[in-house]
Amino acid sequence: MAKEGKLFRIAGPVVVAKEISARMYDVVKVGHEQLMGEVIQIVGDKTVIQVYEDTTGIKPGEPVINTGNPLSVELGPGMLTSIYDGIQRPLPVLVNKMGDFIKRGVDAPGLNEENKWDFKANVKAGDKVNGGDVIGEVKEASITHKIMVPPKVSGKIKSIKSGKFTVNEVVGKLDNGHELKLKQIWPVRAPRPVRKKLAPTIPLITGQRIFDILFPLAKGGVAAIPGPFGAGKTVSQQQLAKWCDAEIIVYIGCGERGNEMTEVLTEFPELQDPKTGKPLMDRTVLIANTSNMPVAAREASIYTGITIAEYYRDMGYNVALMADSTSRWAEAMREISSRLEEMPGEEGYPAYLATKLAEFYERAGRVNPLGVDEIGSVSVIGAVSPPGGDFSEPVTQNTLRVTKTFWALDAKLAQRRHFPSINWLTSYSLYLETLRPWYKENVSDTWADNVSKMMVILQEEEKLMEIVQLVGSDALPDKQQVTLEVARLIREFILQQNAFHEVDTFCEPKKSAAMVESVLKFADLAEEALNKGVRIVQILEIKSKNKIADAKYTNDYIKHLEKVNKEVQDEFAKLKV
Amino acid sequence: MKTMKEYKTISRVAGPLVFVEKTEAIGYGDLVRISLPDGTIKNGQVLDTSEDLVVVQVFEGTSGIDKETRVKFLGETIKLSVSEDMMGRILNGAGKPIDGGAEIIPEQKLDIIGAAINPYARETPSDFIQTGISTIDGTNTLVRGQKLPVFSGSGLPHNEIALQIARQAKVIGMKENFVVIFAAMGITNEEAQYFIKDFEQTGALEKSVVFLNLADDPAVERLITPKMALTAAEYLAYEKNMHVLVILTDMTNYCESLREIGAAREEIPGRRGYPGYMYTDLANIYERAGMIKGKKGSITQIPILTMVGDDITHPIPDLTGYITEGQIVLSRELHRKGIYPPVDVLPSLSRLMNLGIGKGRTREDHKVVSDQLYAFYAEGRDLRGLVAIVGEEALSERDKNLLKFAEEFEKHFVTQGKNEDRSIFETLGDSWKLLGAIPKDELTRISPDLRDKFYGKDIKDTKVEKTETKEVAEKKPKSKKKAKKK
């Protein structure tokens, strides 16, 4: 048995080699063209390999070489603003090397090897350092990129120098001979270690009213967005990538459309981060493995993405990772599994689907990094594409068991052009309780009360609508007609948000809260009026309430809402019994 | 080049598959030539290769193959001979001429398994294609480089609609029209004749390439037909700078063939017996639509599929919808009402619509008008159920208006003639006429300034068209420059 063997069988992305000794998940080079592959099964003297590139034309008998290393990514300055494929090959470099189409047999390092970075050391010879400790920093895009000792490495600094370095040059040495560079290498399938996991008590502000008010996600939390095609998964994911208040965004296009990735690529550099005013692209790492790129690389893309996210978390940053879509990832697993002729679980998915999903989502979290005092976090937002929009399928169900925020997309709402088409009755967030103190302190005292008030109204509406379907709304008692009207205002004014309007695309929590306040105030006034004996028709005819909606389109919402509140009040005051 | 051996070592024949033993090392995906004792030649492709056994999928079916049959491995993958002379020709599903004309003299021989376009090399599609059909232009706009399928059912007029699009599609302000590549998979001879006759009548055939795999042609051949068609499309688009419109019909037949092969290989089936890799397989077809930076041509795809039992959640439309950039859904109910084209706008969608419309491309009010039409039509349709129970008298004024709106929308916006080519400005004008029946302040999806500009005004379509087209023509190059700078 040796490092080098021969190919025995080729059937699509899965090949079998013999006469090679390999460990599970070792990276191997397959065939004369040295295509990249990974060991996924060992049976007797045969080794089963999934290949990250197209295998057409490869013959039995061609050589297979074991690199002896697991699938890894290069971590270091230069990842921000990059766009990678599923195994961290930079796509622009691939265009230079092989043209407009993805061909095979080309290797490209994840980090630019020629760029010089201005490194400022902040430790000195003699200092004792452990894994995760910061030895210096460089400026990358919009952030300070902290250069850390790789986890599991420790020792005394023997030498270190500041200056201009490439990622491969040695900036310092430990007394045990370990060379410190700007880059480190980490196997993608292993989570990077942390000092301590913390409770998620701070929300990830998304600028989307329905998320921020009704179903918030915590920094370090996990959310799932399932929905049938056309319900707005991708638009929602992109809205989150654009406006959420994380410092770093990792966006994984996993088995999705090429044109969508191109859209992100052209749009992000032109948009501004509302916090820093810099281009959104400056804080973004894109991973694009479109649906027609090799399926094994699609399986790897999720791990590549989360490892990069963990690396920035270790510097003490808040990272948000969007995976669009985890169903495609699960399908890639299913495809590979069926080619291995493994005994299938539910709907042909491998029996280990639940474990893999849980392992992935567990890599999210709010943590004390190994060597940094700042708290870092990785929030994960996974899109799920259930076949036929049926949420009872295995990927959605297994995802729900591990995620705490559930944003259910609804095709019916999308068809009505109600966007974001999140169903307010089936969605939930289990972070509401833990986030309550933060909202109280930072948004408004009444936040929690208003949320439950709104949910009651929306739920009541659902019940009343069933009756209305049978007898028409006129047959309802006045009080319930008011409920219906208020519910309509909540839906149209608060929950609907126009992603394509320059102001409405981002709505800060305070603004959301103020709009909610105005709508609920109308509800109170209406109830009061009813009690006084005003007729329902008069209440429904109040014109000024419609102006609450215009707050969406203005940044000067405080003044606007004050004015509208007053008008509504005046109009009520004028109503005759 | 070494001489190619012929093998007589067939060990098993099952469905469309032939298993060959004791071969030399054979490449995965290689082309295979099979000679039957009676002199018939069949073609195949290697699906699985190992030292012990090679599995070959035979395109023309395995009937007549016995143990005496000789198998030759050609050492290359399937290729299509391409040249500009392909235009005006009718080929079979495997790319051989069947119109009685001469063989095509190849300028190039291209691998039919196209490589994926590097997402970084893609150009964002943004050129509005005017199809002259209101339900597409107005509410589900098609743009150049998009893949927009038609989800139909058996007996619905999807062919007529596809032809109408092929006939009328144009980019406003540009002279060049589309080259149409038509790939038929498992459709009947009659349907094929219908297409060809229409192409001939309108003179479109000269600017078309037709690939025909008919219902009685080998089912396995269907698996390569769309790949052949797209290879030809890529050649014409990226090497010859043409704008290509590819019509693939019927994708349902393609998927059936895929299932057949999967079953013959005894693979573990996914949903409803379709192979687990069907998503990837379909993506390899649909993702070949697009535009590339620095190349003039483009590929726009209109795949047509018939939904089994009109079920949109069936795996074929379901997986398709997850890959394509929207869908045009035809409705049996509208068809029964005698409405042509029976496009059900509610489940229809164009994901790239926003890139192709708006000021400088179509008109500033396009998006909001479309949203407003959707919202009212959805509400109006819901009310129909209510009216059936409580009667129209019980409705409020607003509800009565909306009910009427839904009716008028179907009658005047959806319905149009098979040869009626409406300009986008006519479509938008009609929309405002319909919206005019609703009180102005109820148009909540439309911002107040646009409401003031367009509401209740009978805008002279032809006039607007001219000025607007000018604007399009002027603005275009500017925006291109901008994009380059960045």
Q: pLDDT tens digits for A243-252?
A: 999 999 999 9
- Contact with chain B for residue A389, Cβ under 8 A: yes
Q: Answer yes or no: do B270 and A255 touch at CB < 8 A.
A: no
A349 and A374 in a common domain: yes
- pLDDT higher than 50, residue B469: no
Residue among B49, B268, B379 minimizing CB distance to A10: B49
Write out the E strands in B116-240: 128-129, 142-143, 150-152, 179-187, 208-214
Mean pLDDT of B36-62: 91
In a domain, A89, yes or no: no
pLDDT (mean) for B228-256: 95
pLDDT tier, B399 (very low <50, low <70, confident <90, very high otherwise): confident
Tokens matching residue A216: 């918030």
When pLDDT is averaged across residues A539-566 and rounded to a whole number, the result is 91
3-state SS of A71-86? CEEEECCCCCCCEECC
Q: Assess if residue A455 is contained within a domain.
A: yes
Interface residue A191 vs chain B (CB under 8 A): no
Domain assignment present for residue A80? The answer is no
Region B197-222 average pLDDT: 89
Is residue B465 a contact partner of residue B425, using CB atoms and an 8 Å limit? yes
Inside any domain, residue A544: yes
Here the CATH number for the domain that contains residue A42 is 2.40.30.20
Is cis: bond before A427, omega within 30 of 0? no
Its pTM surpasses 0.80: yes
Query: What's the Cα-to-Cα distance from A504 to each of A233, A410, A493, A551, B446, rounded to whole Å?
Result: 19, 21, 11, 9, 14
**A116–chain B nearest CA distance, Å:** 24
- pLDDT at residue B468 tops 60: no
Check whether residue A50 and residue A118 sit in a common domain: no
Q: Kindly tell me if the per-residue pLDDT of B228 is higher than 60.
A: yes
For residue A506 the two structure tokens come to 């981002």
Q: Residue for token digits 């095709």?
A: A411
Within a domain: A408? yes
Mean pLDDT in residue range B350-370: 90
- pLDDT digit string, tens, across residues B432-443: 999 999 998 888
Contact residues, chain B, for A35 at CB < 8 Å? none
| CB spacing of B120 vs A269 below 8 angstroms | no
* Chain A residues 134-153 within an 8 A CB cutoff of chain B: none
Q: How many domains does chain A have?
A: 4
Q: What integer pLDDT is reported at residue A530 of this predicted model?
A: 92
- Domains, chain B: 6-73 (2.40.10.170), 79-356 (3.40.50.12240), 366-454 (1.10.1140.10)
In a domain, A91, yes or no: no
A304 and A207 assigned to the same domain: yes
Looking at every residue in chain B, the average pLDDT score rounds to 88
* Residue B393 pLDDT greater than 90, yes or no: no
Shared domain for A420 and A464, answered yes or no, is no
Nearest CA in chain B to A94: B118
- Which residues on neighbouring strands pair with residue A196, listed in sequence order? A368
pLDDT score at B481: 39
Query: Minimal CA–CA distance to A284: which of A243, A316, A235, A324?
Result: A243
**Band of pLDDT at residue B3, cut at 50, 70 and 90:** low
Is pLDDT of A277 > 90?
no
**pLDDT confidence of B465, banded at 50, 70, 90?**
very low
Residues of B in contact with A60 (CB under 8 A): 25-26, 49-51
Task: Assess whether pLDDT exceeds 80 at residue B479.
Answer: no
Kindly state whether residues A473 and A340 are assigned to the same domain. no
How does DSSP assign A187-242, residue by residue? ETTSPPP-SEEE---SB---S-HIIIIIS--BTT-EEEEE--TTSSHHHHHHHHHH
Three-state SS at B148:
coil
Q: What is the mean pLDDT of residues B351-369?
A: 90
Q: What is the mean pLDDT of residues A72-98?
A: 94
Structural domain including A27 reads 4-72
Cα Rg, chain A, nearest whole Å: 27
Strands A179-181 and A170-174 turn out to be antiparallel
The residue-averaged pLDDT of A97-109 equals 89
Q: Which residue has the higher pLDDT, A346 or B120?
A: B120
Contact B31, B71 (CB under 8 A): no
Q: Which amino acid is at A461?
A: E
What's the CATH code of the domain at A521?
A: 1.10.1140.10
Of A56, A102, A288, the CB nearest to B29: A56
Alpha carbon of A410: minimum distance to chain B alpha carbons (Å): 12
Record: contact A101-B267, CB cut-off 8 A: no
Q: Is the per-residue pLDDT at B345 higher than 80?
A: yes
Q: Is residue A103 part of a domain?
A: no
Choosing from A151, A182, A213, the residue where a domain stops is: A182
pLDDT digits (tens, 9 = 90+) for A405-436: 999 999 889 888 888 999 999 999 999 999 99
- Band (B156; pLDDT cuts 50, 70, 90): very high
Judged against a pLDDT cut of 50, whether residue A498 lies above it is answered with: yes
- Examine the domain organization and report whether A206 and A164 are in the same domain: no
pLDDT at res. B486: 35
Residue type, A200: P
Q: Is the pLDDT of residue A450 over 70?
A: yes
Last residue of a domain, one of A13, A39, A72: A72
pLDDT value at residue B460: 56
Q: Is the pLDDT of residue B472 over 60?
A: no
Whether A287 and A348 map to the same domain: the answer is yes
* pLDDT recorded at residue A541: 87
Q: Are residues A378 and A501 in the same domain?
A: no
Mean local confidence (pLDDT), B309-318 = 93
Contact status of A502 with chain B (Cβ, < 8 Å): no
pLDDT category, A2, cuts 50, 70, 90?
A: low
pLDDT of residue B476: 39
| A468 and A554 share one domain | yes
Q: List the 344-363 stretch of A: residues with Cβ below 8 A of B.
A: 344, 347-348
Give the pLDDT confidence of B89-116 residue by residue, as tens digits: 999 988 889 988 888 899 999 999 888 9
CB B361 within 8 A of CB B126: yes
C-alpha dist (Å) from residue A133 to A42, A60, B185, B398: 38, 48, 62, 67
The residue that leads in pLDDT, A191 or B61, is A191
A26 and A142: one domain?
A: no
pLDDT in tens, A110-155: 999 999 999 999 999 999 999 999 999 999 988 999 999 999 999 9
Phi and psi angles of residue A3, each rounded to the nearest 5 degrees, phi first: -70, -25
User: Within 13 Å of residue B221, how many CA atoms lie on the same side as its CB?
Assistant: 23
**Residue B480 pLDDT exceeds 80:** no
Both A176 and A221 in a single domain? no
Residue A388 lies in a domain: yes
Predicted ipTM of the assembly: 0.86
B124 with A472: Cβ contact below 8 A = no
Q: Based on the domain organization, do A170 and A211 belong to the same domain? A: no
Identify which of A80, A560, A439 has the alpha carbon closest to the alpha carbon of residue A276: A80
**Are B277 and B331 a contacting pair, CB within 8 Å?**
no
Q: How confident is the model at residue B12 (pLDDT cuts 50, 70, 90)?
A: very high
- DSSP letter string over B175-204? ---PEEEEEEEEE-HHHHHHHHHHHHHHTG
Contacts of B123 in chain A (CB under 8 A): 262
